[in-house]
Structure 1
């Protein structure tokens, strides 16, 4: 398994998963690394790319405008990676606001790629639940259940490749 961080170029040749969800300007738990650590124990996932948007060099002072080159590069990288990915893991922490996660849900609700966990307590969980139900998106109660389901799906994709 190979982890790809922004702004590394994206290749669509291998099976891939994008780790969408709560980051809250870097203030959330690093659940992305927890998923990567768990998935790395699976030998069958050797040829899988993991697109992790959590950028170590993120600067909170960057103006979040289209004119800001670093910000624009980050957002475009994320969009390109989600479009390229075979699977999109979307994890929304219960104590977060996660406005970008809500946008990701809306953008990719009809893609057939999303698998979602929206924790209890999330201020717009009802909206997430309704969108997932209407669009037939697989939803899980916990991060661990979502992670296990993603890993199982990636294994099947690897086997069928």
Structure 2
């Protein structure tokens, strides 16, 4: 069998059984797709990938991620949401705990592949993991940050944001508007 025939047969078989179908899509989708941990992270498909980082507090913080998801559902983006419905706060936060490791590795990889990192640090939270993630990506140019008055380390966050020229906004609506501006999309609500 010639190399070209082999490649065509391989592509046909892979397409038939669903392997690599994301990479074979002809054009990017025009609306958002939400990928929630621990779902597999998607291959690049031409749409920007937006990580919804910030306060979760083991599920105790308000689900602000759903506000963002609803507001930009018509934008051509892939939303990477670390908040999982099946999270068990009783899981030991240990590298030896497979579910905990799976979550942390998902978040680290999602942050790395994200084109935009949305970060909301809620006043009623400590959010040490989010602070670490902010520090890891402060110099990336990818972060849009909302840290309202009342967050326990707001001064540190504001100075760090100023030092690294991180885009800061003053509300959840500001986060939504900033994401829309970076994506170049409007839902008509602007």
- State the TM-score, normalized to the length of structure 2: 0.77
Worse-matched range after superposition: 2-11 or 81-90: 2-11
How far did residue 63 of structure 1 move?
0.9
Q: Which residue number corresponds to residue 119 of structure 1?
A: 148
Between 1 and 2, higher relative CO (CA 8 Å, sep ≥ 6) is seen in 1
For 1:37 and 1:146, locate their aligned partners in 2 and report how far apart those are by CA, in whole Å: 13
How far did residue 124 of structure 1 move?
0.4
For 2:180 and 2:128, locate their aligned partners in 1 and report how far apart those are by CA, in whole Å: 26
For 1:79 and 1:61, locate their aligned partners in 2 and report how far apart those are by CA, in whole Å: 21
Distance 1:12 1:130, change over 3 A: farther
Q: Which residue number corresponds to residue 49 of structure 1?
A: 78
1:4 aligns with 2:35: yes
For 1:136 and 1:81, locate their aligned partners in 2 and report how far apart those are by CA, in whole Å: 22
> Residue by residue, what CA displacement relative to the aligned partner does 1:107-161 show, whole Å, maximum 9, x if unpaired?
11011110100011111000000000000100011121111111221226xxxxx
Structure 1: which 4+ aligned runs deviate by more than 3 Å? Answer: none
For 2:95 and 2:166, locate their aligned partners in 1 and report how far apart those are by CA, in whole Å: 31
Q: Residues 71-82 of structure 1: matches in 2 within 5 Å?
A: 71-82=100-111
How far did residue 11 of structure 1 move?
2.3
Q: Which residue number corresponds to residue 159 of structure 1?
A: none
Q: Which residue number corresponds to residue 51 of structure 2?
A: 18
Gaps of 5+ in 1: 157-161
Superposition RMSD in Å: 1.1
Q: Which residue number corresponds to residue 132 of structure 1?
A: 161
> Residue by residue, what CA displacement relative to the aligned partner does 1:13-48 show, whole Å, maximum 9, x if unpaired?
1321000000011111110001000001x3xx23x1
Gaps of 5+ in 2: 1-31, 186-190
For 2:39 and 2:133, locate their aligned partners in 1 and report how far apart those are by CA, in whole Å: 20
Matched residues, number: 152
In terms of Rg, which structure is larger?
2
Would you tell me which structure has more helix in proportion to its own residues? 1
* Contact 1:12-1:84 within 8 A present in 2 as well: no
